[in-house]
Chains A and B, each alone.
Chain A
Amino acid sequence: MQTELRSSLAGNQCSDHLLHRLHDLQSRFQHIPAQEIPPLATELQLPISQVEAVIDFYSFFHRSPRGRIDLLFSNCTSCGDLSLMQQLCTSLDVSPGITRADGAVSIDETSCIGMCDQGASLLVNGRIMTRLNPQRLQQIAGLVNAGTPLDAWPAEWFAVPDHVRHPGLLLNDALQPGAGLRAAIQRGAENLLAEINQSGLRGRGGAGFNTSLKWQLCRDAPATTRYVVCNADEGEPGTFKDRVLLNTYAQQVFEGMTLCAYAIGAKHGYLYLRGEYRYLLPTLEATLAEQRAANLLGENILQQPGFNFDISIVVGAGAYICGEESALLESLEQKRGVPRVRPPFPVTHGYLGQPTVVDNVETLVAATHIAVQGGQWFKAQGTEKSAGSKVLSVSGDCATPGIYEFPFGTSLQQVLDACGGQDAQAVQVGGPSGTLVGQAEFGRKLAFEDLATGGSIMVYGAQRDLLAVVRNFSHFFAHESCGFCTPCRVGTPLLRKYVDKIASGHGTPYDQEEMARLAKVMKRRSHCGLGQTAANPLLDLLERFPHVCTDRLLHQDYEPFFNLDAALATTRTLTHRDDAEAHLS
């Protein structure tokens, strides 16, 4: 049986969490050395198979050494540019994924790192570097070859500005720390719940579950221990609003968690931070320390006898699926991030089997404002079914990518006008798991009842190849599928094969039909949201931009997947040949 994680002296980081211990090993040795695994398992009292399974599940742990400088280029359509990766590989004489023989450097790609408003970006030894360009890459190559330690690289390269372009209801509303808690304590827990209920607040992660109902169900679940978990595993490509909220509004995030704890009677909370945002950890820990000092966390909060609550931060290690709330809880419990069977739901059986509220970062920020300003203030904006505002992450082919907060019900066209994305041919709303729409639908409203979004708005200009975009997404999902259920585990790599085949000009109308049939099986029969949405971009493309696919199809009944020329690639590598004679066609 699992027990609650012991916290370190600092009180806010679970230093003995398996993910943190593995991160330490990875940082120290550039991989997880095999001989370190048995003693770690013994020390943490975990089965050795659990430690092994976790190492192989999360992308940021490796079995063989990475370079002392380990560069991971985002492969997102907004914050990635793999041509830059190829350029750096050439300058440093490195192949992607293979550490250079001297151990100095390794280069690879990684899923979206949430820097979509910052230009092409990468992670270097877990730190963020944005606004990449060929000149910067030359400088990086020089520093790597000179053996300059990362700490001596120019500090301004690691700056990540917020880019709040259009603040709205929440971001314009300056709050004093503790204002929400003071108001809540004055009202009492029941009235806080009533206020949240009146606000009509729904979860901002995308699913849109009624927040007050979630809190109420957790409060009513029979148990002595309850938990609040903040889902800061913002992994949906094109989404970065939680990054900004955590960077500048962390106080309101933590206060929202404390308000939830007050409402449901929780003593402990966890913020699960995606590994890509590890650079935010010092800011977040400093904020927690301030809040403890101000008696907004800890024992007898704001002199309320028995109101005890504290927050620990657990940092992920590269797994999109952990944004799914039950997979997140598995990850918190030091396991592979595999979504649980539901029912039961986390509100009754969550972390360690106890009733748990898992809320999105933005939801908790909104709750803090509602506690101060009241439900009516919030409900005055938005639509009947989608109250309040939405913090949008706008990126892609537009003049001013960044954070835009608009009331729900705002049309996509209004957002495009605001960000300078007027020449868009298509917009991916809600990230790859959302909806791909064309110009005919730009009048649609951003709202749960129309175009639902967790906040990602990816703009694609006229020059973009939409098949390349969809192909990127199908690679993303195949990389991120957890592997639990058949439709997703096998379906996502199959979709990738079909899209690759069509994109390379080898697809037939039959392939397209089979791909669509498979996509529908995955959508309807997968275990969780990842598999159920993985085929959305493809199905949307076929429905709204049919010519994009059909234009590339061969006019023949059948073309095998097996491509003899491609299969000879290994031979060409071995013989150091790539001339015309070494190719079949």
Chain B
Amino acid sequence: MTNNTLFIDGQEIPFEAGQTIMDAALAAGIYIPHLCHKPGLSPHGSCKLCTVDVDGRSASACTLPASNGMQVDNNTPALNEVRKTLTQMLFVEGNHLCPTCSKSGDCTLQALGYHFGMLDGHFPPFYPRREVDASHPSVMLDRDRCILCELCVRASREVDGKNVFAISGRGAQSHLIVNTVSGKLGDSDLQTGDMAAHICPVGAILIKDHGYEVPIGMRTFDLHSVAESDVASPVTLKKTEHHDA
């Protein structure tokens, strides 16, 4: 239909009622960088990497409903510079030590760093003290790497039908907690087959005993550009799996 289209960087794309800019873009094969968004889960709008300019105003592509005739700036040098800055901010906020992280090569945060040509953390690092939770028999929770995207929170509630995770605290002290009396993952009903155990875009939630099964050089973002993530066509991203679910 001609009256249900919007423009992303000048390219006219269709959308259906109820779709966000992100939904429409991904369906049309256009990548808008994102971290806290995953098709199928309710949009969140917190990481701000999908920041776009809509008719000159800043907006999150993952939460703003598409509307007819919208002019969306997406892949521009200025916006990618903003996104690089936001990526750097996420790096300095946590303790992200890529060389020793088993998620290296499969990590969306790291891949975005490369995508935006990030060469350093740039800002003074926070070096926060965060708790590691190894209490679960098969899932590891390393909060040092958590970027507070809440994908695990939403996956658990919306897909797994559980309520394992939540965000607690305020500001820079915000942190991921587990919905148990002890606060320990081992006391939760999280199972390895749950989407919440697999959806972490960084290395904060990892399946135990399956680290380094895929050699470096053969991992997801060794084989694919992050710009192929979640895009409906023409490429389907083949994710490396480190474990048997």
Number of interface residues of A (CB under 8 A): 42
Contacts of B46 in A (CB 8 A): 484-486, 527
Query: Which residues of A have CB within 8 Å of B173?
Result: 56, 483
A53 touches B163 (CB 8 A): no
Q: List residues of chain B with CB within 8 A of the CB of A483.
A: 148, 167, 169-174
Docked-complex contact B93 and A490, CB < 8 angstroms: yes
Query: At the interface, yes or no: B179 with Cβ under 8 Å from chain A?
Result: yes
Question: Is B232's beta carbon under 8 Å from chain A?
Answer: no
- B53-69, CB under 8 A of A: which get 1 and which 0? 00000101001010000
B148–A489 CB distance below 8 A: yes
Contact (Cβ within 8 A) B171 A485: no
Indicate if the CB atoms of B177 and A341 lie closer than 8 Å: no
On whether the beta carbons of A525 and B58 are closer than 8 Å, the reply is yes
Complex partner residue of A527 from B48, B148, B177, B180, CB under 8 angstroms: B48
Q: Does B86 contact A (CB under 8 A)?
A: yes
Which of A48, A55, A486 contacts B48, CB < 8 Å?
A486
A533 to chain B, nearest CB (A): 14
Whether A478 touches B183, Cβ cut-off 8 Å, given contacts A341-B43, A521-B86, is no
In the complex, A52 Cα to B165 Cα: how many Å?
12
- Return the contact of B179 from the options A48, A56, A494, A525 (Cβ within 8 A): A48
How close is A337's CB to chain B, nearest CB, in angstroms? 8
Residue contact B183 to A52, C-beta cutoff 8 Å: yes
Known: A48-B180, A486-B48. A524 touches B58 (CB 8 A): yes
Tell me if A359 counts as interface (CB < 8 A to partner B): no
Is B181 interfacial (CB 8 A cutoff)? yes
Nearest chain A CB to B38 CB, angstrom units: 16
Against B, the Cβ 8 Å flags (1 = close, 0 = not) of A483-500 are 111110111111001000
Contact B86 A38 (CB under 8 A): no
Whether, in the assembled complex, A480 has its beta carbon less than 8 Å from a beta carbon of chain B, the answer is yes
| Beta-carbon contact of B171 and A525 below 8 Å | no
Q: Are A521 and B85 in contact (CB under 8 A)?
A: yes
**Chain B residues near A491 (CB-CB < 8 A):** 89
Docked complex: A1-59 residues within 8 A CB-CB of B: 37-38, 47-50, 52-53, 55-58
Any B CB within 8 A of the CB of A118: no
Return the CB mask of B165-201 against A: 1 if under 8 Å, else 0. 1111111111001111101000000000000000000
In this assembly, does B152 line the interface, its C-beta being within 8 Å of a C-beta of chain A? no
- When the two chains form their complex, are residues B171 and A478 in contact, meaning their CB atoms are under 8 A apart? yes
Interface centre among A48, A478, A514, A561 (most CB of B within 10 A): A48
B171 touches A481 (CB 8 A): yes
* B63 contacts A49, C-beta separation under 8 Å: no
Question: Is A482 an interface residue when CB atoms closer than 8 A count as contact?
Answer: yes
- Expressed in whole angstroms, the Cα–Cα distance for A48 and B180 within the complex equals 7
B114 located at the interface, meaning its Cβ lies under 8 Å from any Cβ of chain A in the complex: no
Tell me how many residue pairs across A and B have CB atoms closer than 8 Å: 119
Residues of chain A in range 486-521 having any CB-CB distance to chain B below 8 Å? 486-487, 489-494, 497, 514, 517-518, 521
Q: Judging by beta carbons under 8 Å apart, are A319 and B86 in contact?
A: no
> A50, A479, A486, A526: which contacts B166 (Cβ < 8 A)?
A50
A490 touches B51 (CB 8 A): no
The chain B residue sitting closest to A482, CB to CB, is: B170
Task: Contact check, A343 vs B65: say whether CB atoms are below 8 A apart.
Answer: yes
A48 touches B181 (CB 8 A): yes
Residue of A nearest to B44 (CB): A341
Of chain A, the residue at the smallest CB distance from B35 is A486
Instruction: Give the chain A neighbours of B92 by CB distance below 8 A.
Output: 490, 494
A336 within 8 A of B: yes
Interface assignment of B21: CB less than 8 Å from any CB of chain A? no
Contact A490 B172 (CB under 8 A): yes
Contacts of B171 in A (CB 8 A): 478-483, 489, 492-493
Which B residues are in CB contact (< 8 Å) with A486?
46-49, 86, 89-90
Q: Are B178 and A49 in contact (CB under 8 A)?
A: yes
Q: Hey, which chain A residues are within 8 Å of B165, CB to CB? A: 49
- When distances are taken between beta carbons in the complex, the residues of chain A under 8 Å from B172 are 478, 481, 483, 489-490, 492-493
What 0/1 pattern do residues 544 to 562 of A give for CB contact below 8 A with B?
0000000000000000010
Asked if B99 is at the interface (CB within 8 A of a chain A CB), the reply is no
User: Do residues A494 and B169 form an inter-chain contact, with CB atoms below 8 A?
Assistant: no
Which residues of the partner chain A approach B180 to less than 8 Å between Cβ atoms?
Answer: 48
Q: Bound state CA distance, A343 and B64, in angstroms?
A: 8
Across-interface contacts of A524 in B (CB, < 8 A): 58, 82
Does the CB pair A49–B179 fall under 8 Å?
Answer: yes
Annotate B92-132 by CB proximity to A: 1 below 8 A, 0 otherwise.
11000000000000000000000000000001101000000
C-alpha spacing A525/B80, complex, angstroms: 13
B33 interface residue (CB < 8 Å to A): no
Q: Using Cβ atoms and an 8 Å threshold, which residues of chain A touch B168?
A: 49, 52-53, 55-57, 336
Query: Are A53 and B65 CB-contacts (below 8 A) given A493-B126, A521-B85, A525-B48?
Result: no
A521–B82 touching, CB < 8 Å: yes
A506 to chain B, nearest CB (A): 12
Determine the residue in chain B with the shortest Cβ distance to A560. B124
Q: Closest approach, in angstroms, between the C-beta of A368 and any C-beta of chain B?
A: 35
Q: Which of B20-53 contact A (CB under 8 A)?
A: 43-49, 51
Rank and list the top 6 A-B pairs by shortest CB-CB distance, nearest first.
A483-B174, A49-B166, A49-B179, A490-B89, A53-B168, A561-B124
Would you list 19 pairs from A and B whose C-beta atoms are within 8 A, ordered by A residue? Answer: A47-B179, A48-B180, A49-B178, A50-B166, A53-B177, A56-B168, A57-B170, A341-B44, A478-B172, A482-B171, A489-B93, A489-B172, A490-B90, A491-B89, A493-B172, A517-B85, A518-B123, A521-B86, A527-B48
Known: A49-B168, A49-B178, A492-B171. 13 other contacts (CB 8 A): A56-B168, A478-B171, A479-B171, A486-B86, A487-B89, A489-B171, A489-B174, A491-B89, A494-B92, A494-B124, A524-B58, A524-B82, A525-B48
